[in-house]
Amino acid sequence: MVHSPTYAMVLIVGVFGMVIGRAGATRGEDFRVDNVVYVGDQKEPSSQSATIFSGGVVYDCLKTPPEVVVFDKTTGQFVLLNPTRRVRAELSTGEVNSIIERLRPGALQSKAPLLRFLAEPKFQEQSNQPGELILSSPLITYRLTLKQVTDQGIVEQYHEFCDWYARLNALLGSSPPFGRLVVNAAVARQHAIATQVLLTIQAGMGAKPRTTIRSEHRLASPLEPADLQRVAQAREFMGSFKLMSFDQYRKTEPR
């Protein structure tokens, strides 16, 4: 979801990945992950999306407002698609990394305790039962439910995308991705995928007292005909939508 997220939402986007070595992730079968995010005690989801992995390319499809992010690790490129405005923007992974690395010095000097923490995050890691992982700190805590997946190619592809997606979303939010990447690495050590993540932001940070966000993630494989139709549509959009700069695209983001 590359539309402008709330401050708290930025902290949960992409908390399920890991950094793969330079050789990249092992290719597994094609699959889809359905994502739903709830804020506080809300019964209706704040965000719904489907992340489709097809032929080594990832298509992240946000339901409302409609938007598609295409990630091709072979070319090292993101393509952002706005179906409503019929426009697209392109960013290389090198550009994303360059911008992200410039966020850390500013975060370290911030007056906001949470931003300073996220510049150099340190969590206490624990597991009280099988399939559970908790990363806690005085400011934010992540409680994750993990699922072991037999096909490690699937796990690695998903993890690789989520790390890059966390970096991309940091360009549009108010917090750097370093905290999420620490959580990602902890999940990676379990050789699993998180099926549920509960994020708790403690009080005393100038925000609402004790904010909670819950995200749920369901793995589906193999792909269905509807998934392949989405992939074909995204590829058509890439060839027909008007190209503009990333800054221009942000001004046309779905709201």
pLDDT tens per residue across span 109-125: 988 888 899 999 999 99
From the centroid of its chain, how far is CA 77? Answer: 16
- Going by pLDDT thresholds of 50, 70 and 90, the confidence category of residue 229 is very high
Q: What is the mean pLDDT of the chain?
A: 86
User: Residue 105: is the preceding peptide bond cis (ω within 30°)?
Assistant: no
Least confident of 7-11, 54-58, 131-135: 7-11
Report whether 203 contacts 59 (CB < 8 A). no
pLDDT, mean of residues 16-27: 40
Is 70 exceeded by the pLDDT of residue 1? no
pLDDT at position 6, please?
A: 46
pLDDT at position 28, please?
A: 60
pLDDT, mean of residues 211-216: 93
pTM higher than the cut 0.85 = yes
Quick one: 81 exposed, middle or buried, by C-beta within 10 A (0-12, 13-18, 19+)?
A: buried
pLDDT tens per residue across span 55-103: 999 999 999 999 999 999 999 999 999 999 999 999 999 999 999 988 8
Q: In sequence order, which residues have a C-beta less than 8 Å from that of residue 164 and are 6 or more positions away?
A: 17, 71, 73, 78, 93, 96
Share of the chain above pLDDT 70, in %: 84
- Going by pLDDT thresholds of 50, 70 and 90, the confidence category of residue 176 is confident
| C-alpha to C-alpha distance for 82 and 87, rounded to whole angstroms | 5
